Structure 1
Amino acid sequence: MTIFGTPRLLRRLSPKGLLARSLLIIVAPLILVQVITAYVFYDRHWDTITRRLTNALAGEIALVLDEAAHHPEELQRLHATAGLYLQLSFDYQEGRVLPNQPLRLTSALARNMAAALEERVRRPFLMDLERPDGKVRIDIQLPRGVLVVTTEQKRISSFTADLLIYWMVGASVLLFALATLFMRNQVRSVRRLAAAADAFGKGREIGQFKIEGAREVRQAAQAFNLMRERIGRQVAQRTEMLAGVSHDLRTPLTRMKLQLSLARRHPDSGLGADGLDDLLDDVAEMERMVEAYLAFARGEGTEAPVPTDLAGLIEEVVGRFRRHGALVDLHLERSLTLPLKVQAVDRCLSNLLANASRFARHVSVRLGERQGAAEILIDDDGPGIPEAEREEVFRPFHRVERSRNPATGGCGLGLTIARDVVRGHGGEIALLDSPLGGLRVRVRLPL
């Protein structure tokens, strides 16, 4: 396989689940660290320790042999002393000759022991370092026989090697278990979010979705809840719009049908100028309603946000109303640039100013920065809206009959469209009491 196929092979062999991938990310570096640690330990620490231990044992054996060679009468005493203080046991086999065979050095310990004996003892020898009784046996050729030396295996081996292995394996298993438990809890919240999104996409009722998990998962869950609420509001508003279309269009259509029915029964009488004017007024009213419905149904469409000077946009909208005779005071604290859907925000501001100008003689518009957001205040001196009905006016086709007379125009969608646009930009809109005595509309858009 060429090197160019390796990434594709790794992708094919890598686990597909988030839990398995997360554990692989944790376990792979852990195994790598363990392998490097083991290599460094055995290559440095363990080899150094065993070399020192084997050199010490070989030196003790050489010392006993040297003393026995110079003082043969003290041999028994030397053997007893070595057994008592050096944990060495000696057995002299007179007349025995070691076979001439090469040593089998299959481990680093055997190589270190053989090198130490060759350096210190300097006599032919055989050794068995892996006896089942836990002893180390070294046969040394002497001029008249063979000296058999036995001692404990712990004299030339360090238990820290086994301890390190146990510690590494135990720590790895414990870490893997904790990582599995922790990652399973994290993945569970992701799975619940995915299941909720799937159920919501199929139109099922998912109830209150619990936000849990890591910070990023909580952010995704919060975004999902906000999206669900926004879509729910849009669906409810579109449903109300469809219900209101037939209601609002029924009146002008009924009048037009009545006038046409009279004209058909009395063809000689004609509609007359007044009748034609009434029909034209009904057609104009229906046209205005249809335009409002289409604007509401389109929402913000597919328009993309672009960096926009909000102060310049407000000044343009206010200027358009001033040219039509509206009295609007404008105060811009400073220029604020933020990403906006220009046509949608223009429609939002136009609806708010049209609503204020329709019911008031004097309108004031102010733009400033408050708490990290662009704040737009639109005040008027009109009749205002009762506090108990301020939330209801955002519903499609809702009109406040007592204070804002529907006869002055409008079809009850201006504030609904305005709130959709503001919320679509991540902002908020509120209706308050105005210092001018009427209504204040406060719009906040995040910078």
Structure 2
Amino acid sequence: MSGAAPQPPLALRGLKRFAPRGLLGRSLLMILGPLLIVQAVALTAFYGGHVDVISRRLATSLAGEIGMVTQLLTQLPEEAHPAILREATWRLGLGIAFEPGIQLGAIPARPPWSPLLPLETDLAQALTRLVGLPFDADWLSDAQNVVVRVQLEGGLLDVEVPRKRLFSATLYLFVIWLVGSAGLLALIAVLFMRNQVRAIRRLAAAAEDFGQGRDGGAIKPEGAIEVRQAAIAFNQMQENIRRFVSQRTEMLAGISHDMRTPLTRMRLSLAMLPRDEASAEDIAGLVQDTEEMERLVETYLAFARGEGLEAAREMDAVPLLEDICATARRSGGDVTLVAPASLRLRLRENGLRRALGNLLDNARRHASQVRMAMQLNGRWAEITVDDDGPGIPAAEREAAFKPFASGSATGTGLGLAIARDAVRRHGGEIMLEESPMGGLRARVRLPV
């Protein structure tokens, strides 16, 4: 028993919605995603391990030195204080001064000097543990030093600590290396993948142009080996199709030429036959059959040849539609046209004239009234041909486009096939629908 295909989890469907849709974006995501994850893990391990340990050790060392100085100043008499300060300044590399009679005021609230590093927190904890006296650590007043003030019984001890005593430059070097290497690899990946994707895009554009009848010649193989192989195969396919179309066209042109000769002789023979009242009707029927055979030959040749050799050009489509409708009226059809004043499109004039002419001929043969309309609908120009005839059942509409289809709307079964081929060469499409007039609607969509 077959069941429904398994659906991906809801979370995956949500992520898929935000995933890149293009090959370039997806390739870069596959390359750079793991790289960024590895870099983030490395940075987290470095920050959580190395930086934290070094910061605590440097803060503890400094706090121990300040605590030793405060202990000496507290335990020894004042006569020894100048010597203690001189020795501490020289041996510890700190700027130490004692301000007698000064009291440590209220510590103002300051923004953190580096919110991403634990330096200030580690120093404050170490001073609290090893000094045990009221203190203030100022990280912002001096760009080169951290000023630590410790409240003693007789005054205030000022200690200027060079920032290098508390901060390791290896953090900057590590972050620069991490970000720089990631940026360099990302740049190389973008440049490399852009070249690969550009080759694929050119191949896709060439295939689209060739499918719409715009023959731009062979494309240059470039990119990865697989893309080059695809380009070479595409060039070979183009050449094979051109050769096949050329052979088919030449063969049918030869057949058409060979058939025109006996048809011409038949028409001449019919024209020279003596006419009397008994044979006039038979001769007229034979002439009509001969003309129908000539029309069929031209129709078959037009279907085989197509309009691929005609170059597209930008033109106003409205006068073309007016001319097609006027031709249909001269053939006895009741045709009306509803169109804007002007609409410029890139068209193959003869191909579109043949396609729309076939649609109008089909409509007027089976209906008393025909209406053609054109309007702009977003990226498409839509041309509709409506009639009030019997129409075609929905189940049989697609089959009506097949050449020589049984029950076709045209006598030869090629009218709709030729129309669809011409419209698709413009990059458009043709569809059969139910008409508001009660019959059949042919909707032609052309790219703007």
TM-score, with length taken from structure 2:
0.49
TM-score of the superposed pair, with normalisation by structure 1: 0.50
